[in-house]
Structure 1
Amino acid sequence: MLKNTDTTRLSRRYALQTVVAVTVLSLGVISMHMFAHVDGLVSPIVVSVVFALVVELIDIYLWKRIAETNEKMLSTYFSAVSGFRMLLALFTLLGCYIAVGRDAMLEYCLVFMVFYLWMIVHHSLFFSRLTNSHTECDKENK
């Protein structure tokens, strides 16, 4: 079982990685907007950044709480997070569709998918490394 100091340290690392990666992705999209003269990317960036930050920070907060209280529930948590993330993404894109209409959805979908795919990769890599290193330590302690 992870100690409270370990979960706090790991959750801070995850949050920092999230903020840095969202900043880098945003700068990449903004530079494409400015230098390639692709119009209509400001609103999709805002929607994507807010979605990514809110979902990732809630994700790490819930992980920390579950890891501290009931570590056996983590596998269920990891399964549930991916499903809820997908549903939230679909509802977010539906809200964008209702707000801006069909003609502007291409920009929203493209920018949103960049952030969404990054979230999936980040979540998978971070927690698979964490789970694998934690499993190896448990085997050594037996």
Structure 2
Amino acid sequence: MEYFFSDNEKRLKQKARAIAEKLILPIRDELDEKARFPLELVKEMGRQGLLKIFIPEEYGGSGAKIMDMCIACEEIARICAGAATAYAVGALGSGPIVHYANEEQRKKYLPKIATGELLCAFALTEAS
């Protein structure tokens, strides 16, 4: 097991930090005060390539490892925990599509999720 970031991981960390500082920091207080979901912010993270991390290459993603998603999420959380949660929901929501959807569904949804054109979420309930 490697205990230090690879060069690619270091570049991702720098990219995610720069995006978080540029996009999230200026609106962080407003997001918190108004308690609103940062829809446009998540879409912009998609345009900047951060949502591609959790999508396989064959569907327009980067096919990265879970560690890469954690690195990006940590840098976003450094600026705003709420924005990091919104980011992580994309990974949680796309996971079932990646692993359990049929090929037609993957082709329909994953490329749009990777670019931020389409957002996904995850719902869970209990029988009681």
Higher relative contact order (CA 8 A, sep 6+): 1
TM-score when normalising by structure 2: 0.37
Tell me which protein shows more helix as a share of its residues: 1
